[in-house]
Amino acid sequence: MEFSIKSGKAEKQRIDCVVVGVYESAKLTDSAASIDKASKGFIANVLKRGDMDGKLASTLLLQSVPGTDSERVLLVGLGKEGAISEKDYRKAVIASTKALSKTGTKDVANFLAEIKVGKQDAAWKVSQMAEAVRDSVYRFDAMKGKKDKKDKKSGLMKLEIHLADSDNKATQESLRQALALAAGISLTKDLGNLPPNVCTPTYLADQAKQMAKTYGLTAQVLERDDMQKLGMGSFLGVAQGSVQPPKLIVLQHNKGKKDQKPVVLVGKGITFDTGGISLKPGAEMDEMKYDMCGAASVLGTFKAIAEMDLPLNVVGIIPTCENMPDGNAIRPGDVLTSMSGQTIEVLNTDAEGRLILCDALTYAERFEPSAVVDIATLTGACVIALGHHASGLFSNQDALAKELLKAGEEALDRAWHMPLWDDYQPQLDSNFADMANIGGRAAGSITAACFLSRFAKKYDWAHLDIAGTAWKSGKEKGATGRPVSLLTQFLKNRVAKSK
């Protein structure tokens, strides 16, 4: 799809469709009023008849409106007159693409960016529109048969975002960054949606190498032997039940100053989580292909910042393997020795994410990071606590937690700060090793974070539990691309701060 910023009168657009906003009680936005005038009151009449009430995200498609040069005009409801909220703006934009998806419209001139949205500027409105549109036209048909692919309508091809001033540098740059972000989100969704027989640890490693080649990053892939030498007994314990070889992917985006300490992103890459010997129940087990969404969000964020050419040093570490039951798999009761030297009694082989992450966190020390953020579909308990709206955020450093919360707010990809108090640590006591890998049913997402914190003592660290936000279940089943927006915003803010 092609995006551009344009200016011009709404009624003068020779295009498949023009999108304009209307408020409740028949109040028109500037461009809707302009069309209304050119058409001698056509829009006002439609509203008077009651076919459209202006409620937020309602739509009405009009054909061949007199006095206009476009084939169609789409009216989009904006709710009560006045500045609408950021979220509602996004909803209105998404409603406009949804309404057009069932029509023959290919090229659109969208005037919704002219309206007032909170305290946001034009650059923000442009970037949100581009990103929301890319997001809502996303489709995953890589695994569909040829016929099914061809039968689909080709959909939107071109979006012109209309503003009073079209050649403003800030809005152009903002569009460029939004498209970079959207490309990252799209990669994250694709990797998540791919089936687990395709998206294996080896596949993820190949993707990382490919990306490094395209963007001039460095990618290094550690194999089982390398990890054995490093003493990653915890990670390799999880991997030993699978015929797929484990990989530790290390990506580096070195576009900051030479002496600048890097931000390290660590992503959980379980390409399928059966639970291992502590086997999961069968219902919806297919969704455990999404257990690599932390890894996918790291790769997506790297794509976004590489396309932006963000001047920052960032390291990505992805431990990736399968969690399978097998004659060689780890058993409940096994004791593993992690790279840190700490020993772990495996009381449940389904608590495998923390077992692969802990060795990756120890490995992160060698980069002398300014901060480490891990991203993981870690616990079902986090879904119970926060549902599907916010990711769980844990940190050993309040300032870092604040940065991430702020980035989430700005990017409309929110996280919620959860406690990491020492009070919870004793739940991990073990009679046979330095710690157990589970802490009982109570506060399951917190004890999982407590476990990780024991491997992250040497630097500022935060953990995002994305079990509830990385994908949707049910009829709309699919990866969401979260929290690539949050992470990218966090990194962009770090660049601004370092200036």
Active site residue ranges = 280, 354
The smaller minimum CB distance to Mn ion, of residues 352 and 374, is found at 352
The smaller minimum CB distance to Zn ion, of residues 105 and 274, is found at 274
Instruction: Give the integer Cα–Cα distance in Å for 158 and 379.
Output: 40
Regarding 353 and contact with ligand BES (CB under 6 A), the answer is: yes
Pairing status of strand 343-345 against strand 371-376: unpaired
The smaller minimum CB distance to ligand BES, of residues 71 and 273, is found at 273
Kindly state the tokens that stand for 406.
């702020």
The smaller minimum CB distance to Zn ion, of residues 353 and 369, is found at 353
The smaller minimum CB distance to Mn ion, of residues 253 and 354, is found at 354
Kindly state the tokens that stand for 344.
């772990």
Binding residue for ligand BES (CB under 6 A) from 52, 194, 321, 351? Answer: 351
The smaller minimum CB distance to Mn ion, of residues 358 and 411, is found at 358
Binding to ligand BES by CB under 6 A, coded x per residue (else -) over 277-316, reads --------------x-------------------------
Ordered alpha helix ranges (H), 194-276:
201-215, 224-230, 233-239
Regarding 345 and contact with ligand BES (CB under 6 A), the answer is: no
84 binds, among Zn ion, ligand BES, Mn ion, none (CB under 5 to 8 A by kind): none
Shortest approach of Zn ion to residue 477 CB, angstroms?
18
| Angle, CA of 376, 380 and 383, to the nearest 5° | 90
Full strand arrangement of the beta sheet holding 59-63: 2-6, 158-162, 107-110, 17-22, 72-77, 59-63
Regarding 353 and contact with Zn ion (CB under 5 A), the answer is: yes
Shortest approach of Zn ion to residue 159 CB, angstroms?
38
444 binds, among Mn ion, Zn ion, ligand BES, none (CB under 5 to 8 A by kind): ligand BES
Instruction: Give the integer Cα–Cα distance in Å for 372 and 175.
Output: 29
Residues 440-469 binding ligand BES (CB under 6 A) are 444, 467
Binding site for Mn ion (CB under 5 A): 273, 350, 352
Question: Which residue shows structure tokens 């600048």?
Answer: 260
Instruction: Give the integer Cα–Cα distance in Å for 301 and 488.
Output: 6
Q: Is 466 helix (H, G, I), strand (E, B) or coil?
A: coil
Regarding 273 and contact with Zn ion (CB under 5 A), the answer is: yes
Residues 6+ apart with CB under 8 A from 430: 344, 345, 347, 436
Binding to ligand BES by CB under 6 A, coded x per residue (else -) over 371-410, reads ------xxxxx-x---------------------------
Pairing status of strand 218-222 against strand 247-254: antiparallel
C-alpha count within 13 angstroms, C-beta hemisphere, residue 263: 26
CA trace torsion 270, 274, 276, 279 (10° rounding): 150
Shortest approach of Mn ion to residue 273 CB, angstroms?
4
Backbone angles phi, psi at 429, to 5 degrees: -60, 140
Instruction: Give the integer Cα–Cα distance in Å for 203 and 411.
Output: 29
Give residues in contact with ligand BES (CB under 6 A).
273, 291, 348, 350-353, 377-381, 383, 438, 444, 467
Give the interface with Zn ion as residue ranges (CB under 5 A): 270, 273, 291, 353
